[in-house]
Amino acid sequence: MRKKITTIFLLCCFAISLAAQSQFGEQPKLVVGIVVDQMRWDYLSRYYDRFTDGGFKRLITEGYSCNNCLINYLPTVTAIGHTSVYTGTTPAFHGICGNSFYIDGRKTYCTSDTTVQTVGAKGNRGQHSPRNLLSTTIGDQLRLHTDFRSKVVSVSYKDRAAILPGGHSANAAYWLDTKNLCFVSSTYYMEQLPDYVLNVNKAISKNKEAKEAGDYIGYTPLCGTITTDMAIATLQGENLGRGEAADMLCVSYSQTDIIGHEWGTRGSRTDDAYLTLDRDLARLLNALDAQVGRGNYLLFLTADHGASHNWKFMNEHKLKAGPLYMDDLKNRIEDYVSQKLGATHSLVDDVMDYRVFLNHSSIADQKLNLQQVKQVVADFLGKQQGIVTAVDMEHVRTAALPQLLVDRILMGYHPRRSGDVIFIPEPQHYIWWDKATPTRTTHGQWNPYDAHIPLLFFGWHINQGATSREVHINDIAPTVCQLLHIQQPNACSGKAITEITK
């Protein structure tokens, strides 16, 4: 009897082994990545009862939710978030250190590229590419794995939210030119727009609401609807999910960020943005079902960052918060350094994303010691109301900071792109310029309101469930790559989420 049981056990193990081996030859027909700009994790529960059955609620009830997904670097901003999702790493390695940042002393917009031209409209709105990105993405690895038979296409309102997810070898990336009210691309990808994009642009030109919104279309939920229209047109026009190799579609929704910055995390405009997006997601899922088939595509949805509640809103409810008025911070730093060290010319190039970018050439010309200048700047910032501390980023490891902050600063630090001094505000305190607007919000910090984001997996080989284990934004790419049985992006620092891949 014991011998019989042992034989059955070994046969079962052999069967399981064969089943596991067979998975190496399997891939979904299509991978779909969705990033919702400025979506806090708690929006999933806040709007759950108001969601339709076919959008967010379907992803939650049929998919797998990572309920404790955190951003593990600083600062938490759009370009970095989108890049980290798809590269599986952080600014320390992928080099996209902000929406704008300095490369060896030269201010650079993250995707700016004057060597390419606009495709689809007149003007410079298409002079963008992924050239400043230092690492590969999921899409790059997928195309490498299939000898470039896979198609990778990315769509968004924002140029950076289309270009950075697609990676270096994407077949196409499309973003909205608000001046001409049409989707454009650049000569990095193509010489002319395909017919399906031209058809979408014709429909936009005939849309009365879109024409009335004009340059301000990003401030309306219609922006998300148009993005969905473009995503569905791309799905069908490129015949994604029907080729001989797995394809990838990257879709990023930007209107939620623009509306959030203008009207905050509360109110009818933000509500409308997410409820309209929910219906648009349902349309996209229906289109995927129709073209690729239920269970034949792997989809993930996440965010590039969250958002803080407006500080006035918090104060009204007796919750501590406040602004850091930064309109004259650069000048105040200059004055302080001049007083302490006798500087006669400007030493500060910029203050952005809670970082100070110093002009190293000017410091050298004035025969000042760079380390001393950085220490004086940090001392000044650390004394400002609403700021906990400031540190020289080259010496973060020895700073008197909690390990959590040390790790996040280092993961966000690239020595030639991230500036010199970083400052940490008190909770619910953030950079503010506009004293007249009471409803706005922003983001960029380590705190949960900025760093806790949704992460949902859905579709191919995904079982329904959830985990509260801490995972990170750079764990998404290695998870997807392991499911596809392809190599991780070449600077990947995240770890596959085993609850998904087992």
Residues serving a catalytic function are 78
From CA 34, how far away is CA 252, in angstroms rounded? 6
Cβ-based neighbours of 272, under 8 Å, separated by 6 or more = 221
* Count of beta carbons in the 10 Å neighbourhood of residue 117: 14
From CA 323, how far away is CA 386, in angstroms rounded? 8
From CA 44, how far away is CA 47, in angstroms rounded? 6
Q: How far is CA 127 from CA 216, 217, 273, in A?
A: 21, 21, 29
Cβ-based neighbours of 212, under 8 Å, separated by 6 or more = none
3-class SS at 478? helix
From CA 342, how far away is CA 189, in angstroms rounded? 51
Cβ-based neighbours of 108, under 8 Å, separated by 6 or more = 100, 101, 102, 132
Q: Which two tokens stand for residue 464?
A: 């329904």
- Bridge partners (DSSP) of residue 182 are 177
225 contacts 276 by C-beta, under 8 angstroms: yes
Q: Name the strands in the sheet holding 355-358, side by side, starting at the edge strand that comes first in the sequence.
A: 348-352, 355-358, 421-425, 387-392
Q: H/E element holding 429?
A: strand 429-432
From CA 144, how far away is CA 168, in angstroms rounded? 11
From CA 260, how far away is CA 267, in angstroms rounded? 10
3-class SS at 178? coil
Of 51, 464, 433, nearest to 295 by C-alpha is 464
Helix locations, 326-475, DSSP H = 329-341, 360-365, 370-382, 403-411, 448-451
374 contacts 421 by C-beta, under 8 angstroms: yes
Output the CA torsion 299→300→304→306 (10° steps).
130
